[in-house]
């Protein structure tokens, strides 16, 4: 199992006013409960690519992700200027039983992927934003060299 992640990123849960109004009306979630949910909806994650299959300019990727909620598996595609993948937590690890699709485009200036994710559970749906950067580029920026 890999010890150094291929990518590291941050995510933040978003919810518009209409979603909040519906949630409060039908699910009984108060403003305080919503603030706590948003606080829990921000975090850091590490992505470990364990399998890669080259298809032209595209790579089919799969592996695991660790974050504040636990450990998940993912499958997806990595291109020169985009990444998209679907994450699913190990059963019981996060309390979430759903697939979470992520899609991002590479910002050419910063060399960071900027994107969105979507989550649908039985009674609710969420969306958020995330950033993702290769571990090598983070280490290079921090230390001026690559570390193994």
Domain that holds residue 89: 7-143
> Domain holding 131: CATH number?
2.40.128
- For the chain, helix, strand, coil in percent to 5 are 20, 50, 30
Tokens 């695991």 locate to 64
Over residues 21-67, the pLDDT tens digits come to 655 665 565 666 666 666 666 789 999 999 999 999 999 999 999 98
Collapsed DSSP state (helix, strand, coil) of residue 55: strand
Domain count, the chain: 1
d(CA 55, CA 40): 37
Q: Which two tokens stand for residue 72?
A: 């998940």
111 belongs to a structural domain: yes
**pTM for this structure?**
0.78
2 belongs to a structural domain: no
Over residues 80-120, the pLDDT tens digits come to 999 999 999 876 655 666 789 999 999 988 889 999 998 77
- Dihedral through CA 106, CA 85, CA 49, CA 40, nearest 10? 90
1 belongs to a structural domain: no
């Amino acid at each position: 199992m890999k010890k150094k992640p291929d990518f590291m990123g941050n995510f933040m849960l978003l919810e518009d006013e209409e979603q909040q109004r519906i949630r409060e009306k039908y699910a009984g979630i108060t403003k305080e409960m919503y603030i706590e949910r948003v606080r829990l909806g921000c975090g850091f994650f590490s992505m470990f690519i364990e399998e890669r299959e080259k298809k032209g300019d595209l790579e089919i990727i799969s592996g695991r992700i660790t974050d504040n909620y636990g450990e998940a598996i993912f499958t997806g595609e990595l291109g020169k200027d985009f990444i998209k993948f679907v994450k699913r937590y190990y059963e019981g690890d996060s309390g979430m039983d759903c697939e979470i699709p992520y899609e991002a485009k590479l910002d050419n200036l910063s060399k960071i992927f900027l994107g969105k994710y979507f989550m649908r559970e039985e009674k609710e749906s969420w969306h958020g934003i995330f950033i993702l950067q290769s571990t090598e580029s983070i280490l290079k920026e921090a230390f001026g060299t690559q570390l193994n």
